[in-house]
Chain A
Amino acid sequence: MIPAFEALAERFPEVVWEDSHGQQVALVPNEQWYEFAEAVKEAGFNLFSDVTAVDWYRSRRDRFDVVVNLTSMSIPARLRMITTADREDPKVASLVPLWPGANFPEREVYDMFGITFEGHPDLTRILMPDDWEGHPLRKDFGVGSVPVQFKASPKAV
């Protein structure tokens, strides 16, 4: 663990630190998500690399994992922080105020998983059409259930 992480671990005792194939992972409680991200940014992690989510459907009590990859260009180092979002009303604090580059990818996660990012300036669908129902990357969203829209095609059964 590099010194920047040790200071963070002292400040946030609830955060669980893990090593995944040589990469540092921080499991952050949902309530501390924004506060922790702010501290991480102050520690020098200035490049927002990636945000995505994992749907654990029935295998976990908190259904969604929100995964953020951050990069420090000065050290250089990487940090992956993961938080959970619950089943009925998945909500996570948006990181756009800290890293404006989180705008598009958070919209993508909202579009694909239906996770609400609180404080996001423009949380709308980005890849799917605006009137789309459902969130395609959830595990309970079937594959290939859209009828073909040709004029003369037989009606979908």
Chain B
Amino acid sequence: MSDTRIVDFWVAGTEEPEFQPTDEGMQEIGPEDSGRRLDEQYGRVVDDDYVFDDEVPDEERMILNMGPQHPSTHGVLRLQVELEGEIIRRSKPIIGYLHTGMEKTGEQLSFMQGPTNVTRMDYLSPLHNELAYSLAVERLLDIEVPPRAQAIRVLMTELNRISSHLVALATNGMDIGAISMMIYGFRDREMILEFFEKTTGLRMNHNYIRPGGVAVDLHPGWKDDIDRILKEIPKKVEDYHNLLTNNPIWQARTVGVGVITAEEAVGYSITGPPLRAAGVEWDIRKVFPYSGIEQYEFDVVTGDNGDVFDRYRVRIDEIVESLKIVEQVTDSMPKGDYRVDDNKVTPPPRQRIDESMEALIHHFKIYTEGFRVPAGETYVAVESPRGELGCYIVSDGGARPYRMHVRAPSFYNLQGLPIAMADSIVADTVATIASMDPVMGDVDR
């Protein structure tokens, strides 16, 4: 083999002049830079695309709209991002596509009908919405619900926390590409939804927790169902650890991504798992306990770095802590009534309606007119799976709230997105959005 063979490419001016440069597939290479271009074409030199100057002229920046119809925005969130190549410099969440005026609706509904409205706000944790609303109304009425109702409320909301976190883990996995996690999360959530369906009659939007107690008692045989949940879920959590936590691909996509520090989280009113992942030990259940949750043993889970991985870890560990509470509630479930013994708020039992005219009138009055609530205002917050869920109610003494406002945790947590996403690459946006776990029904209300 001789060493005369140098170049197999056509270089302008070296071939016959009758060659037509319009022929497809042919490229013109100037003679002066042929050496460099040839090296590139052979692959001996690689031109790196990802080098950026600090000062980039405006025309090199691009505004990109992500959403509102985008599968990884968890609903109808629209993000306006300013890109510099692959790097996101600034971003702005644009919301309101799911706004249905539920606070206005809440002013038209009586206190009895209120939970049907608020339960549709954060549709992944409906029972927490109902609980916040009911606690606010009860504080205005100055009534104390019986211990069994309180225990049922804690049991149901903690189960709801598990199911909500399972969806968060599932969608987080799906957005990053761990499709198995999506299937697992939704599969295991079914167990809890079945329990809800047996008790409340519905899988979501239960209208179960109402001012004065809960709608119905737990179904017969509920302890067996809880035992099954308590036995199965820890095994599944072990599976998640094997599948994701120690997975190098998962860690490469999540560790150090979308960092929110403790100062930023507190400054931007971010609560819930994103705040705890930043290392702040803050949980409404511990600080301002409600519904008798202070009598159960559990730990507040915190992370260290406030990145996507820590938020994922906090959610997984909170599932375990919630299971602890569920177990304790099941063991110590008090006997007694599940509604307050106050005829003003509680409708008469079904059997009494057949026997007594007064009971029928009473039933009719409560369901048509509702009950009057003394004038006043109050703010009650519970720890929802997404953070501090507050309900501010102003009553003017009538049967409907004069003003009903819900402090939506997703709405406030969304303010952290521009901070978490600044100077990160486009591929990390979906991981960051999923780790904040926004529910657009909660954001827009």
A residues sitting closer than 8 Å to B (CB atoms) are: 20-21, 23, 46-50, 52, 54-55, 67, 69, 73, 76, 78, 80, 99-105, 108, 112, 125-129, 136-137, 143
Contacts and interface: CB of A to CB of B under 8 A. Distances in A.
Contacts of B269: 47-49, 99, 101-102
A97 B105 CA distance: 33
A62 to B, nearest CB: 15
A69 B287 CA distance: 16
Nearest to B140: A21
Contact of B407 (A23, A50, A78, A102): A50
Contact of B266 (A21, A47, A78): A47
A136 to B, nearest CB: 6
30 contacts: A20-B378, A21-B142, A46-B266, A48-B269, A49-B390, A49-B407, A50-B392, A50-B405, A50-B407, A52-B403, A52-B405, A54-B402, A54-B403, A67-B377, A69-B390, A73-B266, A76-B287, A78-B288, A80-B379, A104-B411, A104-B412, A104-B414, A105-B411, A112-B103, A126-B96, A127-B95, A127-B444, A128-B96, A136-B104, A143-B108
Nearest to A103: B415
Interface in B351-380: 376-379
A142 B95 CA distance: 23
A21 B390 CA distance: 16
Contacts of B394: 54
> Which secondary structure dominates where chain B touches chain A?
mixed
Interface of B: 95-96, 99, 101, 103-104, 108, 139-140, 142, 266-271, 280, 282, 287-288, 376-379, 381, 388, 390, 392, 394, 402-403, 405, 407, 411-412, 414-415, 444
Contacts of A23: 378-379
A69 B101 CA distance: 22
B415 to A, nearest CB: 5
Nearest to B108: A143
B407 A69 contact: yes
A64 to B, nearest CB: 11
A52 B95 CA distance: 18
A45 B300 CA distance: 22
A127 B270 CA distance: 20
B414 A52 contact: no
Contacts of A103: 415
Contacts of A101: 267-270, 412, 415
Contact of B376 (A20, A50, A54, A73): A20
A50 B287 CA distance: 17
Q: Name, among B108, B287, B377, the residue most crowded by chain A CB atoms within 10 Å (CB to CB).
A: B377
